[in-house]
C-alpha cells in the first residue's frame, strides 16, 4: 500500500527583510521564498512547518490547527498557498542541488525535477501535478 502525503506549500510574496540579499533580487516578486507544512502524524491539532532560511533549516511544530495556520497566512496577504497530495516515491538515491527553500520542498514532496530551481517554477510544477490553490475569502464585517 502506498502512502499518500498531503502537504501545503506557502509562497511568500515579500520578505520582511530590510536588506534584500542579491540572490533574491532576480526572483519574481510574488515568489521570493517557499516552505512546506502539514498535519504531523499522531498530532491532529498541530502543524508541522519545515522552512529553509539562509544556512539553517527549521522544523517546528506549531500548536495551531492547520486550518488556522493556513487562514493566518492567507489573511496576511503576503502568501499564496498550494495544497497537494502525492504518493510517497519509492526510496532511491537522488542527487540534489544546493540546499535552498525550493530543494527542501521538492525533497519533502519527492519531486526530482532538476530544472525547477525558483519558487515560481516550483509553483508551476505543483500546479501541473494537480495542486489546488487555497484562497482567502473574508467574512462579511471583517
Query: How does pLDDT run across 89-142, given as a tens digit for each residue?
Result: 777 787 887 889 999 999 999 998 889 999 999 999 999 999 999 988 776 655
* Sheet of 47-53, strands arranged across: 56-62, 47-53, 33-38, 4-12, 79-87, 132-134
**Beta-bridge partner residues of 59:** 50
pLDDT tens per residue, range 51-68:
998 788 999 999 999 999
If you count them, how many residues does the chain have?
A: 142
8 Å CB contact between 126 and 36: no
Grid cell digits, residue 121:
517554477
Amino acid at each position: 500500500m502506498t502512502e499518500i502525503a498531503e502537504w501545503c506549500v506557502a509562497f511568500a510574496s515579500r520578505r520582511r527583510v530590510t536588506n534584500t540579499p542579491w540572490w533574491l533580487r532576480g526572483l519574481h516578486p510574488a515568489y521570493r521564498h517557499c516552505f512546506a507544512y502539514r498535519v504531523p502524524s499522531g498530532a491532529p491539532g498541530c502543524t508541522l512547518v519545515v522552512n529553509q532560511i539562509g544556512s539553517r533549516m527549521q522544523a517546528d511544530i506549531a500548536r495551531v490547527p492547520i486550518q488556522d495556520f493556513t487562514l493566518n497566512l492567507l489573511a496576511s496577504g503576503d502568501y499564496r498557498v498550494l495544497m497537494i497530495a502525492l504518493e510517497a516515491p519509492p526510496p532511491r538515491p537522488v542527487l540534489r542541488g544546493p540546499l535552498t527553500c525550493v530543494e527542501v520542498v521538492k525533497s519533502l514532496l519527492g519531486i526530482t525535477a532538476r530544472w525547477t530551481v525558483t519558487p515560481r517554477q516550483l509553483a508551476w510544477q505543483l500546479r501541473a501535478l494537480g495542486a489546488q490553490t487555497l484562497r482567502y475569502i473574508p467574512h462579511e464585517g471583517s
